[in-house]
């Protein structure tokens, strides 16, 4: 998929595969951080949130395309947060991600944070501390088209 061409073919993936893929990524970040993913406890904050793709001019096409925001929390003592976020940042760099932002500053909220995007696959990942005992791990997919769906053109 090239940058900028409005009718370029979208990557294809089912919602189920996208969720599995996001679970894999958040699990990998948790392992890198030596943190334990916590079960969902708030039905208002589901791990997987699917949305319609919206173009840069607010266009929406009814062909099944979607993006996924997948977010989990992982338990880790506060004393290990900075090291964990740094390890996630370093691993993302090794995997070809571009770091969009990084900080380890106890005067800020969140104190430890990394945001990154993959230049080819266009996924976004983020990790940061949300409480003294929890990290949040987020994966956002690019716009995906389900297998078998016909991509509509603008």
Per-residue pLDDT of the chain (154 residues; tens, 9 = 90+): 345 567 788 999 999 999 999 999 999 999 999 999 998 767 777 799 999 998 878 888 889 999 999 999 999 999 999 999 999 999 999 999 999 999 999 999 999 999 999 999 899 999 999 999 999 999 999 999 999 989 988 7
Rounded distance, CA 117 to CA 137, Å?
A: 14
- The owner of tokens 């969009």 is 100
The whole-model pTM stands at 0.90
Q: Alpha-carbon distance 126 to 71, whole Å?
A: 9
> Distance from CA of residue 47 to its chain's centroid?
11
Q: What is the DSSP letter of 12?
A: B
Contacts of 50 (CB under 8 A, 6+ apart): 15, 66, 67, 68
- Reported as type and span, the H/E element at residue 36 is strand 36-37
Phi first, then psi, for residue 50 (nearest 5°) are -90, 140
Contact 65, 82 (CB under 8 A): no
Biggest CA pair distance of the chain: 51
Q: How many residues does the chain have?
A: 154
């Amino acid at each position: 998929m090239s940058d900028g061409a409005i009718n370029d073919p979208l990557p294809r993936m089912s919602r189920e595969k996208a969720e599995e893929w996001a679970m894999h990524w958040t699990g990998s970040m948790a392992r890198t951080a030596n943190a334990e993913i916590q079960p969902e406890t708030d039905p208002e904050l589901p791990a997987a949130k699917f949305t319609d793709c919206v173009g840069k001019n607010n266009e929406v096409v009814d062909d099944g395309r979607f993006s996924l925001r997948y977010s989990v929390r992982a338990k880790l003592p506060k004393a290990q947060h900075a090291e964990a976020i740094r390890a996630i940042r370093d691993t993302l760099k090794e995997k070809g991600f571009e770091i969009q932002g990084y900080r380890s500053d106890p005067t800020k909220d969140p104190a430890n944070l990394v945001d990154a995007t993959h230049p080819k696959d266009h996924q976004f990942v983020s990790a940061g501390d949300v409480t003294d005992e929890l990290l949040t791990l987020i994966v956002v997919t690019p716009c995906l088209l389900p297998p078998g769906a016909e991509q509509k053109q603008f």
